[in-house]
Amino acid sequence: MTDRLAAPRGTRDLLPDEGPAWSRLERIAAGLSERYAFERIDTPLFEPVELFARGLGESSDAVEKEMFRVSGARGSDEERAEWALRPEPTAGIVRAYLEHGLQVRPGPLRLWMIGPMFRYDRPQAGRYRQFSQWDVEVIGDPGPMVDAEVIELAGRFYAEVGLRNVVAHLNSIGDAACRPGYRAALVGYFGARLEHLTDDSRRRLAVNPLRVLDDKLLEPELAAGAPRAVDHLCDRCRAHFRAVCELLDRQGIAYAIDHRLVRGLDYYTRTTFEFFVAGREGQQQALGGGGRYDGLVELLGGSPTPAIGVGIGLDRTLLALADQGDTSLTTRSALLALLGREGTSLGARLAAASWLRDAGLAVRADGSERRLGRQIDSAARIGARWAVILPDDSAGEVGERTVVVLRDLVAGEQQELRLADVPAAVSGTAQQPPRAVPGV
């Protein structure tokens, strides 16, 4: 319990009991990424501060107060280097896109990534300084279909992991042509009602008026009367937004237009969206979100290139699943314990285990000299579904034809058969449910 050797504040250890759920989540994300024809990319966990400052915007919370800075070795030229752990994936991906000339690849580039993000926040339920995100980005596709496609992809992920009550919020915040007019309308509206705004919002009104709508302390009637982004869209943005909505309708994907959804990062244009889970008691209900960022590539030094992306918070997905009592994510493949008698050499045990593993089984071999009863006891308690009991060495060299005892640790029945017949005998069986351990 000493605090000297504890995980840093806001970080967590993923303990063995949580491993299967995380693996399953990552497998689903990777599988969907491939089915939607995304290609994997991985970028560094830290980048120059300037990349995030320019990309996300100086006035974004992520840059203004949540940047997790890192430096080089003491005494090195880089000691004071301006690096930061990535708070989000998009800026780094766009940087890599430009650095490696990926724009010459044919067609819109479809990329996916999974990994940790870092924000220097005060931790609380569902919010950590290091959290994990699955992210997809499409660079170079201006059309509305891809907007609908990534929203569908995120929705399909939640469905596939078994999460219910997920709702999508949708908005369009315009582009370089119509945003200035909308900003002016907001400045006019809120500027005439300054006495109703928080200090924070007054500051935002000067720097980034859209984010006044983000203010959770904004009086509801004031928010309801505020100019709506969709009423200020230029013709092209309005047509794009309408097309996205129609495509979602046609796919039967439910969403709610949310006029206050402007997102916390400055690079978004046109389509923005977030996913929430209903019924969660705590306040951290945002499961994921994203939007179109048609100006970011140019902002970071490339030629004008439309793009869109979505980030899915895996920690919060798991929390939401736990909230709804879901345990299906924790199932494991059936474990087989390989046991020996007193006269069974370690060599025979290892050889048999190796043979069974080659056959695709998950095998835990017992190398102890304990009594057989104790080995069975132990195998059952670590959750093994099956036990294979080897004969002692007087039966000769262990091989496929060696006759072993296969014991079903759930049913308590056993049979004798050749080692070669074990894989077929246990195929298709489920792992036994883990024994409830109080307090773990």
Residues in 374-433 that interact with RNA by CB under 7 A:
374, 376-378, 380-381, 383, 389, 392, 405, 407-412, 414, 432
Site track for RNA across 79-118, x = CB under 7 A: ---------x------------------------------
Q: Of the listed pieces 67-75, 77-85, 101-109, 120-128, which binds RNA according to CB under 7 A?
A: 120-128
Which residue type sits at 370? R
Closer Cβ to RNA, 3 or 221, answer by number: 3
Q: Are the CB atoms for 116 and 131 separated by under 8 Å?
A: yes
Q: Find the shortest distance in angstroms from Cβ 126 to RNA.
A: 6
355: helix, strand or coil: helix
Q: Is 6 exposed, middle or buried (0-12, 13-18, 19+ CB in 10 A)?
A: exposed
Distances in Å between the Cα of 44 and the Cα atoms of 86, 91, 113, 116, 128 are 8, 11, 11, 10, 19
Q: Which of 3, 77, 195, 235 binds RNA (CB under 7 A)?
A: 3
Nearer to RNA, 41 or 117 (CB): 117
| Distance of closest approach, residue 413 Cβ to RNA, in angstroms | 7
We find the least distance from the C-beta atom of residue 239 to RNA, in angstroms, to be 26
- Is residue 234 helix, strand or coil? coil
Interface with RNA in residues 52-71 (CB under 7 A) = 61, 65
Among 96, 286, 299, 300, binds RNA (CB under 7 A): 286
CB nearer to RNA: give 152 or 215: 215
144, 227, 306, 311: which one binds RNA (CB under 7 A): 311
Residue 44 binds RNA, judged by CB under 7 A: no
What is the spatial distance between Cα 51 and Cα 41, in angstroms, rounded to a whole number? Answer: 18
| Binding residues with RNA: total (CB under 7 A) | 78
Q: Are strands 335-339 and 386-389 parallel, antiparallel or unpaired?
A: parallel
If one asks whether residue 220 binds RNA (CB under 7 A), the answer comes out as no
Residue type, 341: R
Place of tokens 């200090």: 199
Tell me how far CA of residue 311 lies from CA of 93, 291, 363, in angstroms: 13, 9, 37
Among 40, 80, 371, 418, binds RNA (CB under 7 A): 371
Tell me how many degrees the CA angle 428-433-436 measures, rounded to the nearest 5: 170
Q: Which residues touch 334 (CB under 8 Å, ≥6 apart)? A: 362, 385, 386, 426, 429, 430, 431, 432
Q: Residue 436 Cβ, how far from RNA at the closest point, in Å?
A: 9
Task: Report the residue number, 252 or 373, with the smaller CB distance to RNA.
Answer: 373
Which part of the chain contacts RNA (CB under 7 A), choosing from 99-107, 141-149, 215-223, 423-431?
215-223
Rule CB under 7 A: say whether 211 interacts with RNA. yes
Between 148 and 384, whose beta carbon lies closer to RNA? Answer: 384
Nearer to RNA (CB atom), residue 286 or residue 299: 286
Judged by beta carbon, residue 108 or residue 434, the one nearer RNA is 434
Between 339 and 361, CB nearer to RNA: 339
Which residues are registered as beta bridge partners of 349? none
- Give the x/- contact pattern for RNA in 237-266, rule: CB under 7 A: --------------------------xx--
301/343 with CB nearer RNA: 343
Nearer to RNA, 285 or 331 (CB): 285
**Where do we find the tokens 């039967």?**
252
Distance CA 86, CA 235 (A): 36
- C-beta closer to RNA: residue 23 or 124: 124
Exactly one of 77, 122, 220, 250 binds RNA (CB under 7 A); that residue is 122
Q: How far apart are CA 260 and CA 214, in angstroms?
A: 6
d(CA 74, CA 188): 51
- What is the smallest separation between the CB atom of 310 and RNA, expressed in angstroms? 9
Element counts in the chain: helices (H) and strands (E): 14, 16
CB 135 within 8 A of CB 11: no
Q: Using the rule CB under 7 A, is 284 a contact of RNA?
A: yes
Which residues of 293-368 form beta strands (DSSP E)?
307-313, 335-339, 362-365
Compute the residue count for the chain. 440
Minimum distance from residue 342 beta carbon to RNA (Å): 3
CB 146 within 8 A of CB 138: yes
